[in-house]
Chains A and B, each alone.
Chain A
């Protein structure tokens, strides 16, 4: 048990030399690792041939960074600061929680009152009211309704800021993909490395159907979903007998095969040039243009290209929420319970008479369905698709979002997608480091919190009282 006196004790005879030794060793290894790859730049030399140019400053910075990082980690590990902080943090949370509960009960009506007052006297700023409303919801009901309310209000709040709307659409697309993949990875425990294949099938289905037959988006959308789902079954049927990691590699191979076929089947898919001029979505038949029959004219509004963006935003929001709703509902059905049972222990599942192949297949098909719907949306939003958009990295990105958020956690996917897709948009100059950080984050999460950031799990089915199960108990039960 670490407490205050322990901390003082360990701080007084802190093993500084040992930590220094650790750090020096790490720096030595780092020097070996970085010596050639960071220490030299390869470029065309004066004669036009490739030559190596030393850049010792970069090597020095990298090694120094490793040294400093390892020193800090070693010092923290040697003192009991982390134990101390953790135990006190826990005590603090335990103390605050009931008080917060009381405050919430009091705060709800108080904030409602405040909202009315502010609205009355603030010059009727809609934005102020919305922000207040969000705080109100956050305190009253928690994070999930706040995120939902924010998503609903976003086009109104940022109507004049097209960049934010586009970013919102992008994040929502990844949230939808993450939720779709979460059915396969998080619920059924099948590692799918080729999820982007279904995204591609959906996108190409919409593009080709709309261009060849002139079908409208609302007909193509379900058709694309069904086609993707059909591919899911087709690909899933032979491979789902395989063990976890073999399955992962085979799905990866399928993802690559589909991409390579798209690239090489020029007469059908137009190959690497992609398909352009994909019809944009209409408001249930009414196009978003400046003509007399356009959306703006029909509803008596002034024409504004942002109308379409707002429509796209609500469209992907609705699709994403549909994914979430279906997932949450399915989890309560026997099939959803079978998925979760399958994830926990396949052999036990089979012993209980669950048909594992069918169970896996439905998970695969359902995940593929939502991937296909998201793909359709992607095609109509971009107006242009090419095989470039469906590379393995895209699968890895979606998988990273699911894994970082906590496999099986719906909220975790949202937070991870916002942090990873939205977060990096704010650090545009670090764009090229995005995948590097993703990779490190995947490793770090697996090492420190293998169950993901949101590592608690609410059981889908419960008796009388809903209890939240913390990750350590889940892992304990698995032993």
Chain B
């Protein structure tokens, strides 16, 4: 039971990270119907930006951890958002109205570019960072198994909750959110009634990238080590989360993220850690075959 509780905590934390990345996939898919294959790499770039920003802040003498973390959060979100914007502007916008595989191929190209760019710029070796926020609460300690809840885990879950609330508010109550929902329903019609669709799509990418950057920072804090390749597997898993929750649905993305995080953690804990990625990929395949609309998604109508 104690072991189960510990795995539950770990799973929820991992699920929060996946959920934040999954939002980027689900929003972009909802609006322009493409899989933004490079999104996982934006997450990776976000983690790298955070790492470097943190090291630079330390170097220039900002050593108070809370202040440094806050600044890192702002810097990484802004710059990752710039990456998201640039990728959309450079690789996706010119392709609107092109044949159906073009955006996906372009996205794969962009993913390769980002991976290799970071590898060339920062080296292929893993980048370790000592734990910034050590310590935590010990929930259960009855002599046997110790159940712990670290401060990092609390920060991750709380930040995710805050961002989710903020984001839900943005989508449901602001002008931008209304435009986004309009674009999701019908791009052409939205443009006819005066929605600036280019701007809306750009902002969607920007917001998705900023959230992915936050997930990247959390990954960095939680695991303490990153490399240029983390985006690929995390990206596929986050996409699985988005599909599982129902692609296009925001609560679905979060739910899917949590489920994938939990499944992965429990699979590693009770079956075999070697096959945890196989488990996640198999879920993707199974969900797409048997439940293509996901848990909270709407069925898709194929139109001529």
Q: A478 touching B104 by the CB < 8 A rule?
A: no
Of the candidates B108, B121, B122, B292, the one whose C-beta lies within 8 Å of that of A442 is: B108
Distance in Å: Cβ of A11 to nearest Cβ of chain B: 27
Question: Within the assembled complex, what's the spacing in Å between the Cα atoms of A50 and B45?
Answer: 18
Q: What residue in chain B is nearest A190 (Cβ atoms)?
A: B101
Q: B86 touching A29 by the CB < 8 A rule?
A: yes
Distance in Å: Cβ of A452 to nearest Cβ of chain B: 10
Residues of A within 8 A of B281 (CB): 253-254, 256-257, 260
How many residues from A make CB contacts under 8 Å with B?
A: 60
Question: Within the assembled complex, what's the spacing in Å between the Cα atoms of A473 and B302?
Answer: 26
Residues of A within 8 A of B95 (CB): 446-447, 450
Among A90-98, A244-252, A319-327, the stretch in contact with B: A244-252
Distance in Å: Cβ of A44 to nearest Cβ of chain B: 9
Taking CB atoms and an 8 Å cut-off, the chain A residues in 19-71 that contact chain B are: 29, 32-33, 35-38, 40-43, 49-52
Residues of B within 8 A of A245 (CB): 34-35, 100-101, 104
Residues of B within 8 A of A191 (CB): 101, 104-105
Per-residue A-contact encoding for B174-192, CB less than 8 Å = 1, 0 else: 0000000000000000000
The answer to the question of A121 belonging to the interface, with a C-beta cut-off of 8 Å to chain B, is no
Of the candidates A33, A242, A244, the one whose C-beta lies within 8 Å of that of B100 is: A244
Among A169-177, A379-387, A431-439, the stretch in contact with B: A431-439
How many residues from B make CB contacts under 8 Å with A?
A: 67
Q: A33 touching B86 by the CB < 8 A rule?
A: yes
Q: B278 touching A257 by the CB < 8 A rule?
A: yes
Question: Within the assembled complex, what's the spacing in Å between the Cα atoms of A440 and B114?
Answer: 10
Taking CB atoms and an 8 Å cut-off, the chain A residues in 416-463 that contact chain B are: 432-433, 435-436, 438-443, 446-447, 450
Q: A42 touching B120 by the CB < 8 A rule?
A: no
The answer to the question of A375 belonging to the interface, with a C-beta cut-off of 8 Å to chain B, is no
Per-residue A-contact encoding for B265-304, CB less than 8 Å = 1, 0 else: 0000000101101100110110011001000000000101
Question: Within the assembled complex, what's the spacing in Å between the Cα atoms of A438 and B285?
Answer: 28
The answer to the question of A223 belonging to the interface, with a C-beta cut-off of 8 Å to chain B, is no
Among B14-22, B50-58, B253-261, the stretch in contact with A: B50-58
The answer to the question of A238 belonging to the interface, with a C-beta cut-off of 8 Å to chain B, is yes
Residues of B within 8 A of A439 (CB): 109-114, 116
Q: A37 touching B122 by the CB < 8 A rule?
A: yes
Question: Within the assembled complex, what's the spacing in Å between the Cα atoms of A249 and B122?
Answer: 28
Residues of B within 8 A of A152 (CB): none
Question: Within the assembled complex, what's the spacing in Å between the Cα atoms of A42 and B75?
Answer: 17
Residues of B within 8 A of A248 (CB): 35, 104
Q: What residue in chain A is nearest B90 (Cβ atoms)?
A: A443
Most B Cβ at <10 Å: residue of A37, A189, A254: A37
Distance in Å: Cβ of B86 to nearest Cβ of chain A: 6
Q: What residue in chain B is nearest A241 (Cβ atoms)?
A: B289
Residues of A within 8 A of B101 (CB): 189, 191, 244-245, 407
- Given the known A-B contacts A347-B302, A439-B116, are A450 and B289 also in contact in the complex, defined by CB atoms under 8 Å? no
Distance in Å: Cβ of B41 to nearest Cβ of chain A: 10
The answer to the question of B239 belonging to the interface, with a C-beta cut-off of 8 Å to chain A, is yes
Q: B288 touching A250 by the CB < 8 A rule?
A: yes
Question: Within the assembled complex, what's the spacing in Å between the Cα atoms of A241 and B292?
Answer: 10
The answer to the question of B79 belonging to the interface, with a C-beta cut-off of 8 Å to chain A, is yes
The answer to the question of A392 belonging to the interface, with a C-beta cut-off of 8 Å to chain B, is yes
Residues of A within 8 A of B116 (CB): 433, 435-436, 439
Question: Within the assembled complex, what's the spacing in Å between the Cα atoms of A263 and B272?
Answer: 14
Residues of B within 8 A of A239 (CB): 285, 288-289
Q: What residue in chain B is nearest A344 (Cβ atoms)?
A: B99
Q: B59 touching A52 by the CB < 8 A rule?
A: yes
Among B126-134, B145-153, B155-163, B199-207, the stretch in contact with A: B126-134
Q: B110 touching A50 by the CB < 8 A rule?
A: no
Of the candidates A399, A443, A478, the one whose C-beta lies within 8 Å of that of B106 is: A443
Q: What residue in chain A is nearest B52 (Cβ atoms)?
A: A36
Question: Within the assembled complex, what's the spacing in Å between the Cα atoms of A287 and B292?
Answer: 53
Distance in Å: Cβ of B189 to nearest Cβ of chain A: 19
The answer to the question of B138 belonging to the interface, with a C-beta cut-off of 8 Å to chain A, is no
Question: Within the assembled complex, what's the spacing in Å between the Cα atoms of A439 and B37?
Answer: 13
Taking CB atoms and an 8 Å cut-off, the chain A residues in 363-405 that contact chain B are: 392-393, 396, 399-400, 403
The answer to the question of A2 belonging to the interface, with a C-beta cut-off of 8 Å to chain B, is no
Per-residue B-contact encoding for A255-283, CB less than 8 Å = 1, 0 else: 01100110110000000000000000000
The answer to the question of A221 belonging to the interface, with a C-beta cut-off of 8 Å to chain B, is no
Q: A29 touching B120 by the CB < 8 A rule?
A: no
Of the candidates A52, A253, A447, the one whose C-beta lies within 8 Å of that of B284 is: A253
Distance in Å: Cβ of A8 to nearest Cβ of chain B: 30
The answer to the question of A200 belonging to the interface, with a C-beta cut-off of 8 Å to chain B, is no
Q: B105 touching A403 by the CB < 8 A rule?
A: yes
The answer to the question of B62 belonging to the interface, with a C-beta cut-off of 8 Å to chain A, is no
Q: A446 touching B278 by the CB < 8 A rule?
A: no
Distance in Å: Cβ of A477 to nearest Cβ of chain B: 12
The answer to the question of A193 belonging to the interface, with a C-beta cut-off of 8 Å to chain B, is yes
The answer to the question of B67 belonging to the interface, with a C-beta cut-off of 8 Å to chain A, is no
Most B Cβ at <10 Å: residue of A246, A393, A441: A246
Q: B45 touching A37 by the CB < 8 A rule?
A: yes
Distance in Å: Cβ of A65 to nearest Cβ of chain B: 14
Q: A42 touching B98 by the CB < 8 A rule?
A: no
Q: What residue in chain B is nearest A43 (Cβ atoms)?
A: B123
Most A Cβ at <10 Å: residue of B35, B95, B109, B274: B109
Residues of B within 8 A of A40 (CB): 52, 55-56
Distance in Å: Cβ of B83 to nearest Cβ of chain A: 6
Q: What residue in chain B is nearest A30 (Cβ atoms)?
A: B86
- Given the known A-B contacts A37-B122, A52-B52, A260-B277, are A32 and B82 also in contact in the complex, defined by CB atoms under 8 Å? yes
Distance in Å: Cβ of B106 to nearest Cβ of chain A: 4
- Given the known A-B contacts A33-B79, A36-B52, A478-B99, are A446 and B112 also in contact in the complex, defined by CB atoms under 8 Å? no
Of the candidates B49, B129, B275, the one whose C-beta lies within 8 Å of that of A37 is: B49
The answer to the question of B94 belonging to the interface, with a C-beta cut-off of 8 Å to chain A, is yes
Chain A to chain B contacts (Cβ below 8 Å), 25 pairs: A33-B82, A33-B86, A37-B49, A37-B117, A40-B52, A40-B56, A42-B123, A51-B59, A52-B56, A191-B104, A238-B289, A244-B100, A245-B104, A253-B281, A254-B281, A257-B281, A260-B274, A260-B277, A260-B281, A261-B278, A347-B304, A403-B105, A435-B115, A446-B105, A450-B98
User: 4 closest pairs, A vs B, by CB?
Assistant: A442-B109, A439-B112, A439-B113, A52-B55
